[in-house]
Structure formats: C-alpha cells, structure tokens
Chain A
Amino acid sequence: MFDPKFRPKLHPIPRLTQALVLAPVAAGILGTVLPSLGWMPVIGARDWTLAPWRLLFALPGLERAVLTSLTVGFLSTALALILVIGLLALARDTLWLSAARRTMALLLAMPHAAVALGLAFLLSSSGWVARMVSPWATGWVLPPDWPTIQDPWGFAMVAALLVKESAFLLLMALAVESSLDSVRSGALARSLGHAPGEAWLRTVLPRLYPRLRLPVYAVLAYGLSTVEVALVLGPTTPPPLSVLVTREFLDPDLSRRLPAAAGALLQLGLVVGGIGLWALGERILVRLARPWLSAGPRGRDAPALRLAARLGPALVLPLGLGGLVGMGLWSVTGQWRWPDALPRTLSTTTWSRQADALAWPLANSLSLGLAVALFALLLSLGCLEAERRSGRRPGRVVDWLVYAPLLVPQVGFLFGVQILLLAVRLDGTWIGVAWSHLLFVLPYVFLTLAGPYRRLDPRHATVAACLGAGPLRVFLVIVLPLLARPILAALAVGFAVGLGLYLPTILVGAGHWPTLTTEAVALASGANRRIIGVYAILQAALPLAAFALAVALPAWMYRDRAGMGDPWR
C-alpha cells in the first residue's frame, strides 16, 4: 500500500525463496525424467532407451498398485471434503462444530505417521477395538485371522487419511469462511425460507470452495502418493504405487533406479491426471448444480443429510482420539493379555529402556524441526513484507508457486533432489535434510501467515509512518507485535509439518539423520507395540506442545490488551 519509491527494496527475499523451493523441484523432476529414459551416468547408464519403462510395466502387481493408489487418493479426499461440508452446513449451531473444531485442531498437529500408527493400534485384528468387543460379542478367543489393517483395498489407509485431512480441510475452510460474512448471508437465505443447511450450501459454499481448491488438490496429491501411511496401514502385496517405487529406489541393485525413475514419473502422472480429473468433476458438478442454486426454498433439510453430517465426525473423531489414547496407553503397558479390554499392569519400563535409543532421533527431530520452521518463518515474513511495501496485490501465482512441492508427489522429485544434492555435496548432511524439509514446511508456514498479514489494516502502518516511524521501525514495533499470534501459529505449524516428514528424511539423509518419524515407521512392521507407542506418542506430543505454546504465549503477552483478541474467532 506504499508508494514504492520510498520503500527500501526487499526484492532478494522473494526471489531467494522461490529459488530455494523451485530449483530443487525442477531439478528433481529433471533428475527423474532423464534416468527414466536410460540416462544416468553415475551408474554408467548412457543409452537413450525406453527399457526402464518396460521394466516398470513388467513389475508384478503394478496395475493393482495403481488402482490402490487411485482408490485411496480419491476416496479419502472425497470423504474428507464431504465430511467438512456436512459439518459446516448442517452441524452449524450444534455443539458438534465447536467440539469437532477443537478436536480437529488436535489431530492436525499430529503427523500422518502418528495418526496411522494410532489407527493400527485401534483397528488391527489384535488391536484395542477387537479387544474391547472380544470375546463376549465376537466369540473370538484368539485374534482373528483376516486383515483389518493392511487390507488389500487400502480402506485402512483411507480411514487414517480421512482423520488427518478432514482436520486440515476443516481448519482451512473455517479460515476462509471467516472472511465471507457467512453468518449474515446464511441468515438472509433463511429469512427467504431456506433451511439452514441448504442456506449454507447455496450462499456460502459456492464462494468458499474456490478458495479451498488448492488445499483440496494438495490433499488429493498427498493421498495419491503417500508413503508413510501406506507403510503402516497399506496392503503389502502389492503395495500402493508410491511404496512400490520407493522399494525400487532403495534396492541395492543400482540399475533398479532406472525403472524406479519411470515409476516416479508414473506417480507424477497419476497426481497430475488425478487433479485434472478432479477439476473436471468440479466443472460437471457446478454445471449440474447451477439450476439448484437459484431453486426456491424447500422448507427442510433432508433428514438423511442431517444424520450424515453428525455421523461423519462421530466416526472420525473417536478414530483419531482413540488412536492417540491407545498409543499412550500401550507405551506404559506392562502386561496386556488378549482379549482384555485394558492392560493388567502399567509400567514405565519401556520409556526408561528406550531413553538412550530415543535421544538421537529426538535431537534430530528437534533440531531439524525448529531450525527449518524458523528459517521458513523468516523467508515468509520477508516475502510478505516485501509484498506489503511494494503495494503489490497478492498474486495467485505466488500461492501456486509456494504450493508446488505439495502438489508434486514426493516420490516424483525427491530422487532427483538427491542427485542434485549429491552434485553440491550436501547429500546425507544435516543441511541437505533441512533443505529438503524446507520444501514442505515453507508452504504451510507461508499460507498460515499470508492471510493475517494481508488482512492487516494498512492504516496502522500509515499512522505509524505519519508519526515519524521509518519502514524498519514500522515492521518491528507495529507489524510484528500485531501479528504475534499468527507468527507463533505459523512456527508451530511449520514445526509439526517438519516433524512428520518421512520420505525426504530417509532419502536425502541417507539414513544418517533418523527422526522420531522415520524410527516409528521403521518399527511399525513387527516391532513391540510398547516401543512403537513410545515413539508415536512423542511424535504426537511435540507438535501438540508447540501448538499449546503458540496459543498460550500471546495470550499471556497480551493478557491486558482487549484489542488484541484472538483473531481466529
């Protein structure tokens, strides 16, 4: 909003940020395309050939793997979106929404791997749910033989993604909705005779969805390509495409890298095609819904809809929370015999025995998580302050660029990134891992901060400048303190996201930098449930602590400032 000629330029920061994010993504994709065509001099492959693709399609179970990925991606995204829409439209004035909102914030803080492990605790055939209903209801004296998790269709994965992504989408939707004056437009539609649910669907949703589109695409991209959720809950023979490709990449036989690169591109195509298909579906739905938008009121919301809106969260919330409680319980379990509903004895032995083994991954999780979140915050602040000073309208292009690492599947470019880092000798280093984390942390930090930053009343800065304050003083004394809440929230979000990263840590770190997440996923197949519980609960507890601090700290700092009320409400 400022006359540009008076403002010190901050150009380098947005440029640097884009370079830090886009260069690895672009180089990563290139570093995947070339090997898929037979060009990978490091391992002596210099023939341009389609052989890697033939090898890929010869992999047993490939079609099945692709099908599983598609099922999981589309089903989890559609269900999460429906759940969020139902909750906002039809559970508006109920306690459900406020309860769901709080719980969902809790679930949002937990890494995907922790949610998946929690669900495995609950749902596995010898898990908590089976124990609670056995043998009196099921007649099972031994854990049943059929698969409840790692089911061949990937439904367990869908459940875990549904828990995580509906939390993400709900909070994103609430943030957008707060700027839409939804209460008044809903009230107006109701005064014209529309039932509350239909009023929301007709007046708010059409304005809300366009701004929810990018998060939805990110959710779809993640569901189509997740590795860590698949490793914990997904089918194994064959696994979803992402895991199949990762396996090939990690094969000691380096020549397998070539079909792996082809597989990574197939995964990329799956995500790009999937998003395209989703966008097409959006258009068709919009066209079909057009007449309905202006149709007259019908009086009541369909009872089935109302029921579904309550049923969805009633199923999802216990899954997420039950998993969290289950993990905690198992980590302090002494003896827990099948089919007892609760452990017979409790003990802290697991914790004390694991203390030594925990120290190194914990230290890595903390150092990477904090440093990367802080760096991402500085870059985001620099970009947003540059934008404010230049008076440029926030461009959608910027947002898309920032979203790039979330829309491109991790397996689609991380292998190429590995090669890039090899070239600059950063592979296997802390800096290299931190950089790879930054790609995924920065988008969330930026997006958490961008809304509040852009909504800041420009007159505050004008008044401060007219009182004689230069740009730096305005930034330090006015802008930063006014944004204390979103800044701390962005830090917490960045920390939580970084903590949950699996594939970048494994691939770029080359095993040198184990974190709580990589250890927990590694333990998931087979190890002692108590130990998994310890890792999983820590993984969930750290981001929760960060979020608690991000809420408590500004509340305490501004305890005597009524005008600094919680902007999230």
Chain B
Amino acid sequence: MALILDDLTVLLGGGPLFAPLSLTVEAGEVVTLMGPSGVGKSTLLALLTGTLDRAFTPRGRVTLEGRDLADLPPERRGIGILFQDDMLFPHLTLAENLAFGVPRGEGGGEGGGNRQAARWTKVEAALAEAGLAGQGSRDPATLSGGQRARAALMRTLLSQPRAVLLDEPFSKLDATARARIRAFVLDHVTARGLPTLLVTHDPEDAHGRVVTLDPPSIPPDEY
C-alpha cells in the first residue's frame, strides 16, 4: 500500500530537470516535497498522473501498491490530485461534480437503479462530511473558497484513489480558512490510509516528512 518513486526524473532537451528522486510514501503517510520555484515540482506531479507534456521524457520508475504506473493511462492509475484552484467543473452542480468520479460498478450489488441510488447516497454523505449537507443542487461558483476546497477533496476521495497528490492546495486560501482546510484535508487522507504527496514551496504548509527536490548537480545545458 505504498507509492514508490525510484530514481525518478524528467528530461528536457537531453538534460534532467531535477536530481533523480527516490522516495517511498507509506499508506497513511504524508510526505512534503519542497523545492524552489521552477525546479519542476508540477512536472513531477504531471509525470505521476500520466499527463506529462510531450516535451518531457520521464526516467525512472513509479509503483503504486506494487503496480508499475508507466503503462497505465491517467484514468486507471488510481491517483487523485488537488490543485491550488479547486477546479470544480463550472457547468455542473455541486452534487454532479462529486458524482462525476464515483465508480459506476459500485454499491448495492443488486439492480442498476439501486446502484444509481447508492452512488447518490455516497454523494450526499460526502456533502454532509464537507459541511454542505442538502446543498447538492448549488452552483459551485456560489460557494465560499473553503467550501469549494472541501468539496474538491470530497470529489477526489469519492473516486476511491489509491494515492493522493496535493499541488499547493492551500496557497490560494485566505489565512483564516487555510489552517482549517489544511487540517480537514490532511485528516481525511491519513484517516483513509492513503499515501499522500504534498508539494509546496511554503514551509508553513509542510507536514510530516519533508523531502527537497533539488536542481540537477550538473546544469542541464552542460549535459
């Protein structure tokens, strides 16, 4: 139940973007990845989700629960991601946003109608957990920043990921909401025993073990 990065880096124009990274994130553990801006933190996350820009070439190995991720498309990797913007889909209601990622084959085990009902029951429960009980029909644009952040987390958790990536998810929240949302998110991912990689450049956001992403020892253009 661990996310393992083995000698991982990304090549751009022949040279590595950052020094090769080896790291094991255990189930229920939060590891903070820090590094100066421009070192390639977001690129690393894109590599993990399988959405790396074609200009980059990945090197090294990533396994999740023992499975090599290299040959899996993003939708089958079981990796959830939260960005600094909540990225709730603006054309869907709050509940539709949450239901988007709930697997269809789940729940009930009986007829299709029951399965549908089971999915919406899960959505309703998740809304309640986010303090948004009964507000599923709302337009996401009308929610507060904190509500949106909680809803986005719930959407990710409902899709039953096997690991979670956090891409500076608290940096756009105001100071009062920030501490509460941070606790909310970290409590939820650890309670579910998910390996979690938190990427940030802000020491205040750091949690658990801190790992630094370093520039390569030899600058890329001298490779």
Contact = CB atoms under 8 A, between A and B. Distances in A.
Interface string A337-354: 000000000000000000
B74 A561 contact: no
A351 B50 CA distance: 62
Contact of B50 (A465, A469, A561, A564): A465
Interface string B58-91: 0000000000000011111101110101011111
A391 B77 CA distance: 20
A563 B140 contact: yes
A145 interface: no
A459 B167 CA distance: 11
B11 to A, nearest CB: 14
Given A3-B51, A467-B155, A560 B75 contact: no
Given A2-B51, A561-B91, A466 B141 contact: no
B120 interface: no
B159 A467 contact: yes
B52 A478 contact: no
Contact of A564 (B51, B73, B74, B91): B91
A276 interface: no
B49 interface: yes
Given A6-B73, A482-B91, A562-B139, A466 B53 contact: no
A466 B142 contact: no
A469 B156 CA distance: 12
A469 B100 contact: yes
Interface in A419-478: 457-470, 477-478
A464 B51 contact: no
Nearest to B51: A462
Contacts of B46: 462
Nearest to B164: A466
B209 interface: no
A320 B46 CA distance: 52
B46 to A, nearest CB: 8
A360 interface: no
Contacts of B101: 467-469
B44 to A, nearest CB: 14
B54 A390 contact: yes
Interface residues of B, number: 35
Interface string A477-502: 11001101000000000000000000
B61 to A, nearest CB: 15
A479 to B, nearest CB: 11
A318 interface: no
Interface in B6-64: 46, 49-55
Contact of B85 (A2, A459, A561): A459
Interface in B78-114: 79-81, 83, 85, 87-91, 100-101, 103
A254 interface: no
A4 interface: yes
Contact of B89 (A1, A2, A4, A460): A460
A6 B83 CA distance: 22
Contacts, number: 96
Given A462-B74, A478-B89, A1 B53 contact: yes
A279 B52 CA distance: 39
Interface string A1-18: 111101000000000000
A561 B87 CA distance: 14
B75 A468 contact: yes
Given A3-B51, A462-B49, A467 B156 contact: yes
Contacts of A461: 51
Contact of A464 (B72, B77, B83, B100): B100
B161 interface: yes
A392 interface: yes
Contacts of B54: 3-4, 390-392
Given A467-B101, A469-B100, A6 B50 contact: yes
Contacts of B88: 563
Contacts of B77: 466
B76 to A, nearest CB: 8
Contacts of B50: 2-3, 6, 465
Contacts of A470: 73, 75
Interface in A374-391: 390-391
B79 A466 contact: yes
A391 B53 contact: yes
Given A3-B51, A465-B51, A561-B141, A481 B91 contact: yes
Given A466-B79, A466-B156, A563-B141, 12 more contacts: A2-B74, A4-B54, A6-B50, A460-B89, A462-B49, A462-B51, A466-B75, A467-B155, A467-B159, A468-B101, A468-B103, A564-B91
20 contacts: A1-B53, A3-B50, A3-B52, A3-B54, A391-B55, A458-B51, A459-B87, A461-B51, A464-B89, A465-B51, A465-B74, A466-B49, A466-B81, A466-B156, A468-B76, A470-B75, A477-B100, A482-B90, A562-B141, A564-B141
10 closest A-B pairs by beta carbon, nearest first, are A563-B90, A467-B101, A563-B141, A562-B141, A6-B73, A465-B74, A391-B54, A467-B159, A481-B91, A463-B87
